[in-house]
Amino acid sequence: MKIGLFSTFMSPIAEPDMIRNFAQSIEAMGVESLWMGEHVVLFDQTSNPYPGSRDGKLPVPAGGGMLDTVATFGFLASCTQTLRFGTGITLLPQRNPIYTAKEFATLDWLSQGRLDFGIGVGWCREEVEACGYSFEDRGARCDEFIEVIQSLWQSPVTDYEGNYIQLAGCRMDPKPVQAGGIPLIVGGHSPAGFRRAAAYGDGWYGFQLNLDQVATMKSALTEALDDAGRSWSNFELIITPPYQITPDQLKAYEDLGVDRLILHLGSQKPDRIAARLDWVSDLMNHLA
């Protein structure tokens, strides 16, 4: 099982020197990958609660905001050598799929294939609508956008006729370095998310899941993979567990078949980062 870290880099704390030093430090430790979430705009009030916290609020400092994933990973790819980068998640149905395909293909090209493209439909109605799309049909739109992006990455010429996007004789280069395109990791703790992962994905990403929840999700994913005529032989299970886990729990995630465990970084204050990385290092030693 590989160990990665998840961080929501926030201004004003996440300055260039801070994130550069952080990425180089975790690469030297042997951390396999760094994952970031995405929100382009934030709202004081939302109609749906944020599913990743107990109070339904995004933990954003006053006056701060989340750094863009593509720009940040491009910056960090230039000062690292082996560290992989994953989006957890890219909010695909609120993005322009053509620009998204181009941005991530270019990032994969420049990083020499160190990218995982984690996607999901998102939970924030206000954000989807601010980006110019409707909320209710985001699932169907996401499926079309996946198909278009994968075609642009894999085919010399893309022709596509969908309900949300139409392309004729469309070429996009450079292609991603990784054969077949950038690995697509699908998020979403719903039957639709499991179906989408089985239909299109190279893996599934579950966020903030304890061991019992992982077992339940894996059972549902197994059924979805069976329905799609697929198996776990070419499909990754990627999990972010609760913030604090024990070495025994680490082994239990591995025994459940988790391929990559993406641990929370938490606070980005220097002293808290140092203490957290010491904890991560100790935990990783139990896998050695």
Q: In angstroms, what CA-CA distances link 261 with 24, 113, 150, 255?
A: 19, 20, 26, 12
- Alpha-carbon distance of 143 to 198, in angstroms, equals 12
- Flag whether pLDDT at 164 surpasses 90: yes
- Alpha-carbon distance of 270 to 284, in angstroms, equals 21
- Flag whether pLDDT at 123 surpasses 90: yes
- Show the tokens assigned to 255: 């025994």
What percent of the chain clears pLDDT 90, i.e. is strictly above it? 88
DSSP per-residue codes, 168-200: EEE---SPPSSTTSSPEEEE-SSHHHHHHHHHH
pLDDT at position 154, please?
97
- Show the tokens assigned to 184: 């697509």
- Flag whether pLDDT at 56 surpasses 80: no
Structural domains in the chain, sorted by start = 2-285 (3.20.20.30)
Using DSSP's 3-state secondary structure scheme, residue 209 falls into: coil
180-183: long-range contacts, CB 8 A cutoff, minimum separation 24: 180/153, 180/154, 181/150, 181/153, 181/154, 182/104, 182/105, 182/108, 182/115, 182/116, 182/117, 182/153, 183/115, 183/116, 183/117, 183/236
Give me the chain's average pLDDT, please.
Answer: 95
Using pLDDT thresholds of 50, 70 and 90, give the confidence band for residue 44: confident
- Alpha-carbon distance of 121 to 174, in angstroms, equals 26
Highest mean pLDDT: which range of 32-46, 50-64, 154-168: 154-168
Using DSSP's 3-state secondary structure scheme, residue 23 falls into: helix
Q: What is the pLDDT of residues 173-204, one digit of tens each?
A: 999 999 999 999 999 999 999 999 999 999 99
Rounded to two decimals, the pTM is 0.95
- Alpha-carbon distance of 81 to 74, in angstroms, equals 12
pLDDT at position 62, please?
73
What percent of the chain clears pLDDT 70, i.e. is strictly above it? 99
19, 9 contact by CB (below 8 A): yes
Q: CB neighbours (10 Å) of residue 188?
A: 23
